[in-house]
Amino acid sequence: MDREEVLRWFGERLERDKPLAIPEAIFEALTPNLARELAQRYGRFGLIRLPAHEQRFFEWLRQRDPAVWSDLWGGEQEPYAVSLSFLEALLDRRRGFPICDLVGTDNYYFFPAMLEWTQEARDYAAAVRERFERGQPLSTEQLLVIELLLGGAVDIWHFAYHHNIELEDAKQAVRVLVEDKVLPHLRSAEQLAPFLR
């Protein structure tokens, strides 16, 4: 599908406050630029259903961390409906819908700039990058740092899911990185908000 066909498809199907399921063929035709254009046109009122791969992730989350799932979706009559403004984020299957505004449980959302906050963080990140480039094995802590360096912002749940790491092991890696002054752990949505704008 070309750009015009995708724009027409959305224009003909989007209805105010009614979630739209995007077929895989349409989803695959999307580019970041096209997703941004759609968000600019329809983001104020357009709702979409999370793609199937992201719904599978959230079903995994419901089993592994029910308090977080409930914090996100518990009060929703129809979970997995989000603003069209998230479309671009959903194109990255490893990052998906960002879990960064929890109010009843701790957030575990990290972004690359956090690796600049202390000299220990900068030194650790440089050493991990060198280790990665030499093809040496990485610990869970090091893998999270590489994920931030090379892939951008990520929450701990998507990280654990896509690397097939036990969730408690991933959270323990965060505790170690915080203790070693490599990562700050901004637990509340209020603490994270200034960095997400």
* 78 vs 86: which has the higher pLDDT: 86
Residues 130-142, mean pLDDT to the nearest whole number: 97
Q: Which residues contact 81 (CB under 8 A, 6 or more apart)?
A: 19, 47, 48, 49, 50
Whether 43 shows a pLDDT value over 80: the answer reads no
From the list 138, 117, 130, 120, the residue with the least C-alpha distance to 180 is 120
| Confidence band for 171, pLDDT divided at 50, 70 and 90 | very high
* 130 vs 41: which has the higher pLDDT: 130
Whether 1 shows a pLDDT value over 90: the answer reads no
| Neighbour-count burial for 70-86, b at 16+ CB within 10 Å, e otherwise | ebbeeeeeebbbbebbb
Percent of the chain scoring above 90 in pLDDT: 80
Predicted structure pTM score: 0.91
Whether 196 shows a pLDDT value over 80: the answer reads no
Structure tokens at 24: 């895989």
Q: State the pLDDT at residue 16.
A: 84
Q: Which residues contact 188 (CB under 8 A, 6 or more apart)?
A: 103, 106, 107
Query: Can you tell me whether residue 164 is helix, strand or coil?
Result: coil
Report the chain's terminal Cα–Cα distance, integer Å: 32
Average pLDDT, the chain: 93
Residues 37-51, mean pLDDT to the nearest whole number: 89
Kindly state the helix (H) or strand (E) to which residue 177 belongs, with its residue range.
helix 167-179
Q: State the pLDDT at residue 109.
A: 95
